[in-house]
C-alpha cells in the first residue's frame, strides 16, 4: 500500500474555510519529480506552458527561480498583478516530496480584496510515476464570484497548468 503525502496548510488558509477552494491532481507514468520541479520553480518558463499567467516580476529583486521568502508578482485570471510571497519551498529528494506554496493578495476596496494560498506537492511514486497536486484556498469577494461560476474557472485553469507542466516535462525529458 502506498500512502500519499498531503499539502501542509496554515490554519488561516484551511480548505473549506474560505470563499473558494480547488484541488487538481495528476499522476503520470514515465516522469519523475526531477523532470517536473525545475519547470515549476523557474517562473521564466511558466508562460511557455501555461497561458493564464503574465507580467511576472520581482519588485525587490531575485528571480526568476522561486526561493523561500521571495516576493514576486504575477497576473492571472484577469486580475491585475497579485503580490505574492513564497512561504514554503522544499525541493523533492529521495523519498521526500517537493513542496511549494505562496500567498497572493490583491488590495483595494472590500469588493476587490483577494487573499489566497496556492500550494504544490510533487512526489515520485513507485513504478516510475510522478504525482503533482496543486490546491488553492481563496478568500474575498472575487474568490466567491469565481466559485459561483460553472464551470469553476479556477479548477479548469489549474488543470490547464498541470497539463502544461506535464507536457513541458515530457518535452524536456525527451529532448
Between CA 139 and CA 17 the distance in angstroms is 9
Q: Give me the pLDDT at residue 171, please.
A: 95
Q: Give me the pLDDT at residue 3, please.
A: 67
Q: What is the mean pLDDT of residues 156-168?
A: 98
The pLDDT tens digits for 5-27 are 899 999 999 999 999 999 999 99
Q: Give me the pLDDT at residue 2, please.
A: 55
Q: Give me the pLDDT at residue 4, please.
A: 77
Residue 11 falls inside a structural domain: no
Owning domain of residue 45: 17-174
Residue 79 falls inside a structural domain: yes
8 Å CB contact between 135 and 23: yes
Question: How far are the Cα atoms of 27, 36, 47, 57 from residue 97, in angstroms, in the given order?
Answer: 14, 12, 24, 27
Residue 167 falls inside a structural domain: yes
Q: What is the mean pLDDT of residues 29-57?
A: 97
Residue 132 falls inside a structural domain: yes
Residue 114 falls inside a structural domain: yes
How do strand 98-106 and strand 82-90 relate by DSSP bridges?
antiparallel
Residue 4 falls inside a structural domain: no
Continuous segment of H or E residues that includes residue 29: strand 20-29
Domain count along the chain: 1
The proportion of the chain whose per-residue pLDDT surpasses 70, expressed as a percent, equals 98
- The whole-chain average pLDDT of the chain stands at 95
11's CB contacts (< 8 A; 6+ apart) are: none
Strands, sheet with 129-139, edge to edge from the N-terminal-most edge strand: 20-29, 129-139, 114-125, 98-106, 82-90, 71-75, 54-57
The pLDDT tens digits for 53-97 are 999 999 999 999 999 999 999 999 988 899 999 999 999 998 899
Residue 48 falls inside a structural domain: yes
For residue 48, what is the domain's CATH number?
3.30.530.20
Class of residue 154 by CB neighbours under 10 A (exposed 0-12, middle 13-18, buried 19+): buried
Question: How far are the Cα atoms of 52, 73, 164 from residue 20, in angstroms, in the given order?
Answer: 18, 21, 23
Which residues partner with 135 through β-bridges?
Answer: 23, 119
Long-range contacts of range 82-86, CB-CB < 8 Å, 24 or more positions apart? 82/106, 82/114, 82/116, 83/107
The pLDDT tens digits for 109-155 are 999 999 999 999 999 999 999 999 999 999 999 999 999 999 999 99
Between CA 59 and CA 83 the distance in angstroms is 9
Q: Give me the pLDDT at residue 1, please.
A: 40
Residue 102 falls inside a structural domain: yes
Amino acid at each position: 500500500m502506498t500512502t500519499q503525502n498531503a499539502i501542509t496548510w496554515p490554519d488561516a488558509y484551511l480548505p473549506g474555510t474560505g470563499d473558494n477552494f480547488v484541488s487538481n491532481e495528476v499522476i503520470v507514468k514515465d516522469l519523475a519529480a526531477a523532470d517536473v520541479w525545475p519547470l515549476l520553480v523557474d517562473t521564466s518558463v511558466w508562460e511557455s506552458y501555461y497561458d493564464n499567467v503574465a507580467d511576472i516580476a520581482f519588485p525587490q529583486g531575485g528571480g526568476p527561480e522561486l526561493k523561500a521568502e521571495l516576493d514576486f508578482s504575477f497576473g492571472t485570471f484577469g486580475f491585475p498583478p497579485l503580490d505574492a510571497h513564497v512561504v514554503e519551498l522544499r525541493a523533492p529528494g529521495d523519498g521526500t516530496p517537493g513542496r511549494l506554496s505562496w500567498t497572493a493578495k490583491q488590495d483595494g476596496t472590500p469588493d476587490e480584496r483577494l487573499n489566497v494560498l496556492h500550494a504544490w506537492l510533487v512526489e515520485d511514486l513507485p513504478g516510475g510515476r510522478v504525482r503533482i497536486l496543486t490546491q488553492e484556498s481563496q478568500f474575498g469577494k472575487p474568490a466567491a464570484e469565481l466559485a459561483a461560476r460553472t464551470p469553476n474557472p479556477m479548477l479548469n485553469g489549474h488543470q490547464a497548468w498541470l497539463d502544461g507542466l506535464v507536457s513541458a516535462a515530457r518535452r524536456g525529458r525527451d529532448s
